[in-house]
Structure 1
């Protein structure tokens, strides 16, 4: 073989080797890019579904609603679930068997548990929002090499946020109260029933701001219960004149028990502002109720009769 032929042969081998190496590097780059896109899509899917801004805003509204709710203790037989309407038919003797002093202790525990639950929900939601911001930061600032190098960190962050979300969703529903001591007093030969205590919620009472109107010396008020039909309940309505001008005007206030979802208050002063507040009447089983709705209405001035008579003259 001549030297010229050998050079051509060696050049072909070198070119083939370079081509093989180039193709191998290209394949590796393609595999790396494919891995990067797959893992990036995992994060994007998590952000768009489990941790979307829309979902977090809904949870914010849910927490704000829960802060306005009323919380009660319910005594249920162990075989009935919370919300089962059959428990309304239980004999009242079950409640009478519960030791009043021990029940008051459980009410205090229910109050503490409710407050802690609302605080934890707020804290968990803040952690979820912060975690979302961190994931978005990873996607926006990490290049492919950095993202893949820190994938274990990102994956752990996804796992932690998923667990946080599970805890948050589980805590949205009031839970069972742990009964350390017997609630039922010694009833002798009577068989002690198997009972359990649970926390239940009632949606907040809110004024209907379209239907609540003021006239010259009286107001017509109407309210409703959020997300449900108004059930027959006892309510407490308060009213107060704002900025009284005389000592006599300071008595323009009061508390009224109401058994429906509407009320009229008469004998008010004209052209003045009044504040009205409505809430459920307190019951024996109430453990927590921090919020109550308030509305301010201004009564209308009486027509100026002198001016009207002047305008009517020919």
Structure 2
């Protein structure tokens, strides 16, 4: 009889210990989730992720060709062959170059699609983790739900790491399956490699840009640019907009090497739409973003 009572007591103690262990494990899981929600998945952090994704989608991507047979120099540009150079252009096989440009465009589109998918998975994970915490406080969580949420927590951490690892300003080398310069000469040809580089979006400065009755003063910047590049060229489009019907005035196109421009001879009390982007280069493989601003000239009759 005493043995039966002792066995029952031991069994009860095991169940109590098991329940305590489950509660401790569940509490630890909830604390891990709360730390993540309050740090890397806070509202501010999510906005940062959203902005990083938007900037990557708005960047311009370029193909750069480098000579591998030259020793490294202080100025890395000395090793870069610019496709706009007439000599380089004459040596490169145009069909192979076009295939390389297509390959680079595909790589950029895949990167942006992957970043978009990772961002959506992060947001979905954040929502599910938040819902789990609510159910935990309501006492609706069981061991199966906890195990599932532990996996969700690990996957969300992995998605965030993958997202950050993909945010790079240099997309690395491309695999050149064929030589861009055909070996039809009797002298040694340069060994070339190709890579993708990124330029950040061009965006109007909406605090500085303004109008008078017949003049628009437009200012723009490049996101995260530490110093203005003197060699950059920008293309500015402008057209008048009818205030009540969808009529557009004649399109004007202007180029500028500075980061501002003055547009004269505008009509008072009229809406104008302006857009700005970099002048397209021959090595541009992807760049859809064009910033647009609408301004209304002052009414001089008032």
TM-score where L is the length of structure 2: 0.79
- Whether the aligned pair in 2 keeps the contact of 1:244 and 1:250 (CA below 8 Å) is no
Residue 42 of structure 1 pairs with residue 40 of structure 2:
no
Q: The residue matched to 1:44 in structure 2 has which SS?
A: helix
Residue 70 of structure 1 pairs with residue 60 of structure 2:
yes
- Give 1:73 deviation, angstroms: 1.0
Q: Which moved more, 1:111-120 or 1:45-54?
A: 45-54
Q: How many residues align?
A: 287
Q: The residue matched to 1:184 in structure 2 has which SS?
A: coil
Residue 165 of structure 1 pairs with residue 164 of structure 2:
no
String of CA shifts for 1:168-195, please: whole Å, max 9, x gaps. Answer: 2232223443322222221524434333
- Give 1:141 deviation, angstroms: 2.1
Match runs of 1:120-269 below 5 Å: 120-142=114-136, 146-173=141-168, 174-186=171-183, 188-228=185-225, 229-232=227-230, 233-243=232-242, 250-251=249-250, 253-269=251-267
Hey, which of these two has a bigger chunk of helix by percent? 1
Q: Which consecutive residues of structure 1, in runs of 5 or more, have no partner in the other structure?
A: 1-9, 305-314
Query: C-alpha distance in 1, partners of 2:241/2:80?
Result: 47
Query: C-alpha distance in 2, partners of 1:145/1:243?
Result: 59
Q: The residue matched to 1:220 in structure 2 has which SS?
A: strand
Max Rg structure? 1
- Alignment partner, residue 275 of structure 2: 277
Check 1:59–1:176 CA distance in 2 against 1; reply closer, same or farther (3 A cut): farther
Q: The residue matched to 2:75 in structure 1 has which SS?
A: helix
Query: C-alpha distance in 2, partners of 1:39/1:146?
Result: 12
Q: Which consecutive residues of structure 2, in runs of 5 or more, have no partner in the other structure?
A: none
Query: C-alpha distance in 2, partners of 1:188/1:91?
Result: 22
TM-score where L is the length of structure 1: 0.76
- Give 1:101 deviation, angstroms: 2.5
Aligned counterpart for 1:114 among listed residues 84, 108, 115: 108
Check 1:241–1:27 CA distance in 2 against 1; reply closer, same or farther (3 A cut): closer
Query: C-alpha distance in 2, partners of 1:280/1:158?
Result: 42
- Give 1:49 deviation, angstroms: 4.0
Query: C-alpha distance in 2, partners of 1:216/1:51?
Result: 47
Check 1:138–1:188 CA distance in 2 against 1; reply closer, same or farther (3 A cut): same
